[in-house]
């Protein structure tokens, strides 16, 4: 089954404790992206990747890092989480930039 998976689905952590949210897709997609969704603001793009080793900032990259060492994986790293990073996070992939994006089920992160 074609899918995008994210782990963990739910995470409660404390300020400053480094964490990684994993994202994996099995569709051999080149384009992958991370978004955060906050009430009233919609989805905002954090980082995107056009292919392996090619990443770039979206609209809200501050406080986040990404890497794309393999085509299927695109982890999101929060080196020092803060409460304002409490949000619902989605990973997505697509065959190319102008194509439909397939989303993972989301990761609900709470930073206390």
Partner 1 sequence: RKEVEQDPGPFNVPEGATVAFNCTYSNSASQSFFWYRQDCRKEPKLLMSVYSSGNEDGRFTAQLNRASQYISLLIRDSKLSDSATYLCVVNTGGFKTIFGAGTRLFVKA
Binding residues for partner 1, rule: CB under 8 A, are 33, 35, 37, 40-45, 48, 50, 56, 58-59, 88, 90, 97-98, 100-101, 103-106
By C-beta, is 98 or 112 nearer to partner 1? 98
By C-beta, is 14 or 23 nearer to partner 1? 23
Cβ contact 25:102 at 8 Å: yes
Q: How far is the CB of 18 from partner 1 (least distance, A)?
A: 26
Q: How far is the CB of 12 from partner 1 (least distance, A)?
A: 17
Q: What Å distances lie between residue 67 and 20, 29, 34, 72, 98, CA to CA?
A: 11, 15, 11, 11, 22
- Residue 107 bridge partners (DSSP): 89
By C-beta, is 27 or 88 nearer to partner 1? 88
Cβ contact 37:87 at 8 Å: yes
Kindly report whether the peptide bond that precedes residue 12 is cis, defined as omega within 30 degrees of 0. no
Q: How far is the CB of 1 from partner 1 (least distance, A)?
A: 15
């Amino acid at each position: 089954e074609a899918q995008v998976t994210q782990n963990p689905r739910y995470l409660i952590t404390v300020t400053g404790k480094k964490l990684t949210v994993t994202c994996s897709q099995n569709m051999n997609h080149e384009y992958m992206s991370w978004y955060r969704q906050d009430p009233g603001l919609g989805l905002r793009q954090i980082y995107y990747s056009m292919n392996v080793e090619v990443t770039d900032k979206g609209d809200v990259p501050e406080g986040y890092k990404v890497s794309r060492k393999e085509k299927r994986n695109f982890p999101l790293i929060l080196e020092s989480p803060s409460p304002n990073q409490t949000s619902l996070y989605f990973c997505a992939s697509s065959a190319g930039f102008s194509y439909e994006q397939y989303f993972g089920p989301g990761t609900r992160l709470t930073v206390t």
